[in-house]
Amino acid sequence: MFGKTNTCFTMSQGYLDLKYKPQSNDLVCLFYVEPAEGVSLAKAANHVAGESSIGTWTEVSTMKDDIWGKLRPSIYSLDEENKLVKIAYPLELFEPENIAQILSSVAGNIYGMKALENLRLLDVGFPSKMIKKHAGPRFGIQGVRDVVEVRERPLVGTIVKPKVGLPPREHANVAYEAWVGGCDVVKDDENLTSQGFNKFKDRITETLGARDKAEGDSGETKVYMPNVTAETYEMLERIDYVKDHGGRYAMVDVVTLGFSAVQSVRQKDYGVVLHAHRAMHAALTRNPRHGITMLALAKLLRLVGVDQLHIGTAVGKMQGPKEEVYSISQAITQKKVEEKQDRLPQLWGQVKPVFPVCSGGLHPGHVPELMGFMGQDIIIQAGGGIHGHPEGTRQGAEAMRAAIEATLENQSLHQWGEKHKPLELALRKFK
C-alpha cells in the first residue's frame, strides 16, 4: 500500500495495527475516545493518531516512504466497550527534552477535531531515552526529609490565611504561630505573589526572619515556601532573592506558569526545593470524558523535576476519588508502575520520587483516614483546618501535630484528645 514514493494515504486506513507491540523507544498514550455521531471508534482513533503525528485531514501526495516507515504511530489497542485507545509513537517524533513540543503533539490539535465528541488523555508512558533527557526532582522525598530533618512521620504544613490581604509583618506573624505550634512548613497561597499590600521582597525578609526565630524557639527545622510565580525572568530573579536570604524552598503554580517555565527553574538548579501547586488543573482534569487527567500531568511534572506536588486528598473539600489520588501517588513515588486498564506501565530508572502533598479542606479529624491509605510519605497541608481552630493558629498546628502522633501510636483521636486540649477542641469544631 505504501511501497512507492509520494503514495497518497488515507487516515482511516493508516495507523491501526492491533498486532503491534510497543517498543522500548515508543512513547505510549492511553486515550478515552468518544467519536462524533456516525464515526467509528477506529476511524476516530486514526484521526487522533494522525493529527498528533504525521497526518492531516486529507490525502496528501507529499507522504514519502521514509516518513511513513520511520514516524508512523501505531494504534495497538481498541477497547470498544470502554472507548479506550492505546497509541504508540516512535521517539523520533519528539524533541525528547521539550515538554511543550511533546504536549503540542499528543495533547494539542487533537482536541479540536470534528470526528470527536470528547477526548481525554488518561495516561502517558515515557521511554527510557526520553526520561534520561530530564533531570527529574533534585531532592525527592528523602532529600526533602533531609532538609526538614523529619524522618518517620508525615510533614505538617499550612498555608497563610487569609489567602491575600495581610501585609508582610502580619503574614510573617501568622507563619511564626504555625511553626511554633508544630508545623514543619508554611507556604504562600497560589494567588499571593507581589501585590501592593504585600510586596514580594518585603514578605520574604519578614517571613524568613520569623522562620529563624521559630527555629530558635522550637528547636526544630522550619521551612517557608514563597510563591515565586511570575513572568519567567522575574520568577528567576525572585528565586535568587529567596536563596540569597536563606530560603530553602520556592513554590510555583505549575499549570498557569507552563511546563517550559518550570523546566527553566529546574535547569537553573538553584539548590532549593521546588514545590508545585496545581492551580487551574481542574480546568483540564475535572471532566471525566474530556481533557487530561491529573495522573498524566503528575507524571509530566515528575519528569520535569518538581520535588513536591499537590495530588488531592479524597477526604477534604477538593474533588477526586481515593483510587485516583492513590494512583497519582504511586505514579510519582514508585520506581516501577504496573499496567492496569486505565493506566500504562512506567519504569522511572534513576528519577527520584516526588513528595505527595495532600491539601484542600483538611483538618485533624481527617488524619487517620488520610494516613491509612496514603502512608507516612505525605505532606499534610491544612489552611482553614489550622487557622480555624477556636483558639487560633498555634493551637491549630498543635492539634494537627497531635492527630499525627495519635495515628502513629494507633490511638483514637478522641482518646488522645483527652490529654491534648488543642486536639479535643479541634475535633469538637470540625465534626
> Among 411, 149, 140, 70, which Cα is nearest to 301's?
140
Mean pLDDT score, 412-423: 96
Question: Do 341 and 119 touch, CB atoms closer than 8 A?
Answer: no
Average pLDDT, the chain: 93
* Cell 497509541 -> residue: 87
Q: Sheet holding 308-310: strands in order across?
A: 223-225, 185-187, 155-159, 379-381, 355-359, 308-310, 273-277, 249-253
- Over residues 212-231, the pLDDT tens digits come to 999 999 999 999 999 999 99
Residue 61 clears pLDDT 90, i.e. is over it:
no
What's the pLDDT tens digit per position in 139-173?
999 999 999 999 999 999 999 999 999 999 999 99
pLDDT at 292: 98
Handedness of CA 280, 286, 292, 298 (dihedral sign): positive
Length of the chain: 431
CA distance 140 to 131: 16
Band of pLDDT at residue 96, cut at 50, 70 and 90 = very high
Name the band, by pLDDT with cuts 50, 70 and 90, for residue 7.
Answer: very low
Q: What is residue 316's predicted lDDT score, i.e. its pLDDT? A: 57
Average pLDDT rounded to a whole number, residues 236-240: 98
Give residue 319's pLDDT band: very low, low, confident or very high (50, 70, 90): low
Residue 59 and residue 45: Cα distance in Å, rounded? 17
- Percent of the chain past pLDDT 90, that is, above it, reads 88
Predicted confidence at residue 314, as pLDDT, reads 72
Q: What residues does CATH 3.30.70.150 cover in the chain? A: 13-131
Task: Kindly provide the b/e burial profile for residues 77-94, where b requires at least 16 CB atoms within 10 angstroms of the residue's own CB.
Answer: bbeeeebbbbbbbbbebb
Residue 353 scores a pLDDT above 90: yes
**Domain at 140-429: CATH architecture:** Alpha-Beta Barrel (3.20)
* Residue 37, pLDDT above cutoff 90: yes
**Predicted local distance difference test score (pLDDT) of residue 253:** 98
Q: Which of 116, 96, 112 is nearest to 33 (CA)?
A: 116
CATH T-level topology, domain 13-131: Alpha-Beta Plaits (3.30.70)
Q: Alpha helix locations (H) across 72-167?
A: 99-106, 128-131, 140-148
What are the residue numbers of the active site? Answer: 161, 277
- Residue 320: the pLDDT is 57
Q: What is the pLDDT of residues 112-130, one digit of tens each?
A: 999 999 999 999 999 999 9
pLDDT tens, residue by residue, 178-195: 999 999 999 999 999 999
Residue range(s) of every CATH 3.20.20.110 domain in the chain: 140-429
